[in-house]
Structure 1
Amino acid sequence: MYRILIVDDEKDERNVIRFLLNKYRFQLDIIEANNGKEALIQLEKQPINILFTDIKMPFIDGIELATKARELYPTIQTIFFSGHDDFNFIKKALSLRAVDYILKPVKPDEFQQTLCSVIQNIKTQEKERAQIEANTELLKTHILNRLINKTPLEKLKNEYPSINFAYLNEYSQMILMQFDEPFFDRLPKEKDTLFFYQQIEEAIPNFSCDFIDLNPFQIILLLKKNRDNSLHTKQIATRIQKKIHLEYRINCFISISNEISAPYEMPRLYEEMEKYIEDHFFYSDTYAYSKEATSIESKNYPETDDDLLQAIQNAIKFADTVSFRQNMNSLFEKYRSNLEISHVYVRFLFSKLLQLLCHDLPLYDKRTINKTMEAIYSCHHFSDIEEILISVQNEITKRLEEEKKSPKHVIQIVKQYIHEHYQEDLSLNLLSEQVYLSPGYLSEIFIQETGCGINKYIKNLRMEIAKDLLHSTNMKVNDICHNVGYQNLSYFVRSFREHFGASPEKYRQMERKMKENS
């Protein structure tokens, strides 16, 4: 409800205005003041939308009051009413951008028309402000997306001089969420990503953050400095992960950044978060990662011995030397200083590991394996057992390196498959199956060879194809959405705006306008 302040030193005049407001059923919160000084107190106490004031009054006249009112509320709508048809007064009123100048006695029809016009002005201003704010928020998200993807901060400031970049200093930490499948593209068609964030806010009261949709598999939550600090970031991440699993039955792996001391650090922190989250394929029972958490949780050994042995076996099968070394090191570290485990069990476990490693090594016949097992059972220190197994590990690694395909050739196959199947569901697991590599290893060599992750590569390709279709065809946006592999139109439109800084329809209009002008 809008608020009107009626100012006149004659009560009868104020009563007439109140009567007319009620007669024409204007839904307004009515406040009165009998002079300019009292009116100024009311203005300072609460926001006023409409100032309806006489000109000649004691203490502070209407012109001075209107001047002070506009200083307090630049968009306030001012209406003067006076018994003096004086050109100088009218001229001053116009200089203050008054809506109207009504002469006493007030004519009801003129009053009704003026108030209707004023209320319409207020509504129009509110709509324009909302549109400006929406466009500004969109640009801010677009800037964040580009900053995360290593666009220099100074370049962004030069490109968007109208944006106040101080908002980048509002963030304290980032949370990276990664899914095994394109989660946001699977939301019901009547929902969008904002619906999902509302669910997160319901799960975590007083939680304040912004978000960036990086691609269908990843989003970043940007935690604000003024948020409720009663919960540790790790607790927040755990709650989010449980909420997603409970509502959607999908695994979400979450990585937590260090504190953000300056905006330019965001790209580096994002890379670190991606590195933390890469460990999820061999830390099978862990879902939330951070630099602090990684160092602490590694001592809790969430993975069982069977998990690690299976991971080592899979690494050999897929010729994934990175995963092979990581899981071997994890097993060594687990027992290197573990004084609570029986020496008999340790010897049994690493004898079992030896059999697994030697299964495909032609140099290790049954006699050699038995001799090596005897050596393990004869060791007095774990370091001696580790030395024997590392020797075997090195031989395995050498063989895997020889058998592995050329990374460039593998990446070329993956790229070709993406270009031929971009309209379909594409996941890291699906792509890794095409080249017989583990998902973790494929992800690593893809970044090494191309400089970007697979999910980002897929999104960039789809966005470029969508842009070309908007430029060269008359296809509907909904059809283009499905043509480039998106199922959820709302998510596609949001992704396009964040990528190019304009919605698909707006982009098409700009392209056509540029074509007409050329």
Structure 2
Amino acid sequence: MYHILVVDDQQAEIDAIEWLIQKHALPFSVAQANDGEVALEYIRGHHVDLLFTDIRMPFMDGLELIKQAKIVIPDLKVLIYSAYGEFEYAQKAIQLGTVSYMLKPIDVKEFLKVFQSIIAILEDERLQREKDELLIKGFHKGVAYEKQKLLFDLIQGRESDVHYEERAAFAGLNHLENKRMYMIMIGLQNHFFDQHHTEAFEFLQSTSKHEMLLLHINEYQSIMLVVIDPASKNSDNGQELMTYGEKVKEWLETRFDRRCLIIVGSPVDKLEGLHDEFTQMEELMNFRFFMDRSVVCSKDAESIHDHIDDESLELMLKEIYTSIARNEYRTLEHQIEYLIASMRNSKRFSSMYAKLLFTEILKKVVELQGKKSSSLLKEGLERIALCNSIAELRQVILSVFQEHLLQIKTNTDDQCRKVIEDVQILIQMEYGNDIGVDYLANRVFLSPSYLSFLFKKSTGQSLIKYITAVRMERAKELLRDSTIKVVDIASTVGFANTSYFNLMFKQHNGLTPIQYREGGGRR
């Protein structure tokens, strides 16, 4: 429905025009005015698509009205009607940008012909505006997607495109090259960002003092890229962001009763440097089990491992002893390596304590092997006593296990692979449920942090990424081979939030679920 303003100092003329519009069901709502001044005031306060005006009127004639109305609405369509003797005025009105004119008295056939022509013009313009709006909306969506995709590629170390600078310019990220950037990694143990990503974004955006970009890595983890102008007067941005991390932690605990680990990264001056910093932060995130603080700095590695409590140490030793009892020696090697990595640079463990600890582990091996291993124990104890550093201790312990592995017939590679295969089978069977590291670790009798360590070491990818990949593949199958609604597919593959499912699907496949289905699953 379009809006027409009919202007004439003769009310009967206005009523006749309005009657014709209604009788022939023309798509116009009608407003009236009896002189140019009243009409102009109306135009200044209302949207008008078509101005239908007489020429000769009191106070302000039609020509002046057209001139002033065009200033208010430049693309306003104007239709004039006048007596035959006023044709000279009509010519001037046409020069002001009118679309047509009609002579009084109005001929109905001519009236309908002119109006159909004007309606066609208005309809073409409406369709073009809608098309332009869709293009602009699509452009902004494309920019937003490319920004997320480029950042994702950068932190994953996958940006080697020769058109990198063009991608950065298109995504509006090229200005970051002259800024100082900090990454803040936010990790939770259970589903969060798929269910609360909008609220989380709004909170982080409203509380950050600096330009901020948020990138969701998965349901459990997000990266907040904070951009700081080098001219900033605050010289200690790292401490400022640590304080901000405490604020985010408090919000998550108070608002959602969720425990989290927040890692504040070191400053990065170039976009290409994000990958190395992200890798370091992700490694620290995998060690969250041993951290006694919820907000840490990526460069402060010593503080991460300063305080391993008795309960955590007891759990690690229990897992080691279990592997020994099961003759899972390859798994045992990984556990020893993991334990030493946790002890490295720790202020709690003295060299004497470390030697005693690994002496007890070695004795567990010997107890199961009987007298045949007595010589191995003696040699191992002598080598442990001579160690002067934890690096030497690591080498001794691992070499002793390697020597022992040569004496047994167990296929240790299969043992390690069996644990990973069991986890992968669980994921394939239960991907539609709220499964996470804690749940899977409990099913295979390992700690969450160690399972994450073992899975990534064995497969080359994190456990969370593997879960997401399985869900994406199943989603693609359902989109390709069924008519199930997208919202139901999202729920089936373990996503409680459909919008987040759409975001993750496009991030992994380059298409939305609808686009993938419409394309016949060809991607």
Q: Do the structures match in fold with TM over 0.5?
A: yes
Residue of structure 2 aligned with 1:234, choices 226, 242, 255:
242
What is the Cα deviation at residue 474 of structure 1? Answer: 1.0
What is the Cα deviation at residue 455 of structure 1? Answer: 1.0
The question of whether the paired residues in 1 share the 8 Å contact of 2:505 and 2:511 is answered with yes
CA–CA distance in structure 2, aligned partners of residues 502 and 330 of structure 1: 46
CA–CA distance in structure 1, aligned partners of residues 37 and 155 of structure 2: 57
Could you say which residue in structure 1 is the equivalent of 2:320? 316
Q: Give the 5 Å matches for 1:66-465.
A: 77-78=74-75, 85=91, 124=130, 125=132, 128-154=135-161, 157=164, 164-167=170-173, 169-170=175-176, 172-185=181-194, 187=195, 192-202=196-206, 204-226=207-229, 232-283=240-291, 285-295=292-302, 297=303, 301=306, 303=307, 306=310, 309-310=313-314, 313-314=317-318, 316-317=320-321, 319=332, 320-331=335-346, 333-334=347-348, 360=364, 362=366, 406-465=415-474
CA distance change for structure 1 residues 18 and 428 in 2, over 3 Å: closer, same or farther? farther
Could you say which residue in structure 1 is the equivalent of 2:109? none
What is the Cα deviation at residue 118 of structure 1? Answer: 12
CA–CA distance in structure 1, aligned partners of residues 401 and 481 of structure 2: 48
CA distance change for structure 1 residues 118 and 279 in 2, over 3 Å: closer, same or farther? same
CA distance change for structure 1 residues 143 and 85 in 2, over 3 Å: closer, same or farther? farther
CA distance change for structure 1 residues 350 and 208 in 2, over 3 Å: closer, same or farther? same
Structure 2: runs of 5 or more not aligned: 1-33, 48-64, 81-88, 104-113, 324-331, 375-383
Q: Deviations over 1:98-139 (max 9, x none)?
A: xx668899xxx99x9999989968974556533431232123
Letter in 2 for 1:324: L
What is the Cα deviation at residue 430 of structure 1? Answer: 2.7
* Range that drifts further, 123-132 or 397-406: 397-406
Letter in 2 for 1:465: R
CA–CA distance in structure 2, aligned partners of residues 25 and 307 of structure 1: 75
CA distance change for structure 1 residues 478 and 256 in 2, over 3 Å: closer, same or farther? same
Higher relative contact order (CA 8 A, sep 6+): 1
CA–CA distance in structure 1, aligned partners of residues 429 and 121 of structure 2: 62
CA distance change for structure 1 residues 229 and 294 in 2, over 3 Å: closer, same or farther? farther
What is the Cα deviation at residue 145 of structure 1? Answer: 2.4
CA–CA distance in structure 2, aligned partners of residues 116 and 492 of structure 1: 40
The question of whether the paired residues in 1 share the 8 Å contact of 2:188 and 2:259 is answered with yes
Structure 1: runs of 5 or more not aligned: 1-14, 29-51, 56-61, 67-75, 94-99, 337-345, 369-382
CA–CA distance in structure 2, aligned partners of residues 154 and 179 of structure 1: 32
* Range that drifts further, 426-435 or 268-277: 426-435
For these two proteins, the number of residue pairs brought into alignment is 413
Letter in 1 for 2:339: F
Q: Deviations over 1:348-402 (max 9, x none)?
A: x78995896577365799xx9xxxxxxxxxxxxxx99985999988776567775
Could you say which residue in structure 2 is the equivalent of 1:20? 39
CA–CA distance in structure 2, aligned partners of residues 328 and 162 of structure 1: 42
Identity of aligned residues (%): 18
Q: Give the 5 Å matches for 1:446-485.
A: 446-485=455-494
Letter in 2 for 1:273: M
Structure 1 length as normaliser, TM-score?
0.63
CA–CA distance in structure 1, aligned partners of residues 296 and 390 of structure 2: 29
CA–CA distance in structure 2, aligned partners of residues 85 and 104 of structure 1: 12
CA distance change for structure 1 residues 23 and 154 in 2, over 3 Å: closer, same or farther? same
CA–CA distance in structure 2, aligned partners of residues 212 and 17 of structure 1: 57
CA–CA distance in structure 1, aligned partners of residues 250 and 401 of structure 2: 38
Q: Secondary structure at the match of 1:511?
A: coil
Q: Secondary structure at the match of 1:200?
A: helix
CA distance change for structure 1 residues 118 and 502 in 2, over 3 Å: closer, same or farther? same
CA distance change for structure 1 residues 136 and 395 in 2, over 3 Å: closer, same or farther? closer
Letter in 1 for 2:337: V
The question of whether the paired residues in 2 share the 8 Å contact of 1:315 and 1:321 is answered with no
Q: Secondary structure at the match of 2:520?
A: helix
The question of whether the paired residues in 2 share the 8 Å contact of 1:280 and 1:286 is answered with no
What is the Cα deviation at residue 168 of structure 1? Answer: 5.0
CA distance change for structure 1 residues 508 and 85 in 2, over 3 Å: closer, same or farther? farther
CA–CA distance in structure 2, aligned partners of residues 298 and 118 of structure 1: 65
Q: CA RMSD in A?
A: 5.1
Letter in 2 for 1:425: D
Q: Secondary structure at the match of 1:154?
A: coil
CA distance change for structure 1 residues 505 and 156 in 2, over 3 Å: closer, same or farther? farther
Q: Secondary structure at the match of 2:495?
A: coil
The question of whether the paired residues in 1 share the 8 Å contact of 2:455 and 2:463 is answered with yes
Could you say which residue in structure 2 is the equivalent of 1:40? none
CA–CA distance in structure 2, aligned partners of residues 355 and 426 of structure 1: 38
Q: Deviations over 1:444-473 (max 9, x none)?
A: 333233332111121122112212221221
Could you say which residue in structure 1 is the equivalent of 2:5? none
Q: Secondary structure at the match of 1:182?
A: coil
Structure 2 length as normaliser, TM-score?
0.63
Could you say which residue in structure 1 is the equivalent of 2:27? none
Q: Secondary structure at the match of 1:209?
A: strand
Rg larger in structure: 2
CA–CA distance in structure 2, aligned partners of residues 350 and 449 of structure 1: 27
Could you say which residue in structure 1 is the equivalent of 2:519? 510
